[in-house]
Amino acid sequence: METLEKDVVDNQQLIWDLQLNLDLVLNENTQLAKKIDLESLIPFINYIQKSERIFIIATGRSGFAMGCAAMRLMHLGLTVYFAGETTTPAIKKGDLLIAASGSGTTATIVRAAEKGVSVGASVVALTTNSTSALAKLANHIVIIPAAEKEDHEGGKSKQYAGSLFEQFLLLMMDAVFQSLWKMDETPAEELWKRHANLE
């Protein structure tokens, strides 16, 4: 009986903790949305609209977020590739590389940006660090003022590592998609025809 009562108490504590943590995640993203320079997204959207093909590169959890973005841009009818996939072709002049790295120092992403620059492609960096190696290579930078992975002080986020940056990437890119879709004016039914059907 004591064990059962203890389980009930422990479960109630866990529910409270989960609610607090959910509020934390939502509140931090809401506050970050108020801090980001929305004007910096306008050139980013222009690059997306005028580029022949779009290449996206990001690793880890940022990679999952940007994979979602790649899917939505594909739904708009854009030609999109995620770097590292076996069917991704060579990048060339006229293409756009969207490179996401919180620190801006991830070696594979910096090398990809260097390759993009060397062939004349445009590079847009999504990062927390305006002075990073990635930022210095970019034609345009979107600064996401979140904590970097190794910022353990909790000044910008109480979440672990780069969680806020990774979460906000997904939200920001969905907002970019919504704006592009509004300008495109293609009905949702038409976008849906491009959705994967080999699932």
| Residue 39 exposed, middle or buried by CB count within 10 Å (0-12, 13-18, 19+) | exposed
What pLDDT is recorded for position 147?
73
Distance CA 28, CA 36 (A): 12
CA–chain centroid gap for 81, Å, is 15
- Say how many residues make up the chain: 199
Instruction: Compute the average pLDDT of residues 132-144.
Output: 98
Q: What is the model's pTM?
A: 0.91
**How confident is the model over 19-74, as pLDDT tens digits?**
999 999 999 999 999 999 999 999 999 999 999 999 999 999 999 999 999 999 99
Answer yes or no: are the C-beta atoms of 147 and 31 closer than 8 Å. no
CA 176 to chain centre: 11
Spot the catalytic one: 150, 166, 189, 199. Answer: 166
Q: Catalytic annotation on 52?
A: no
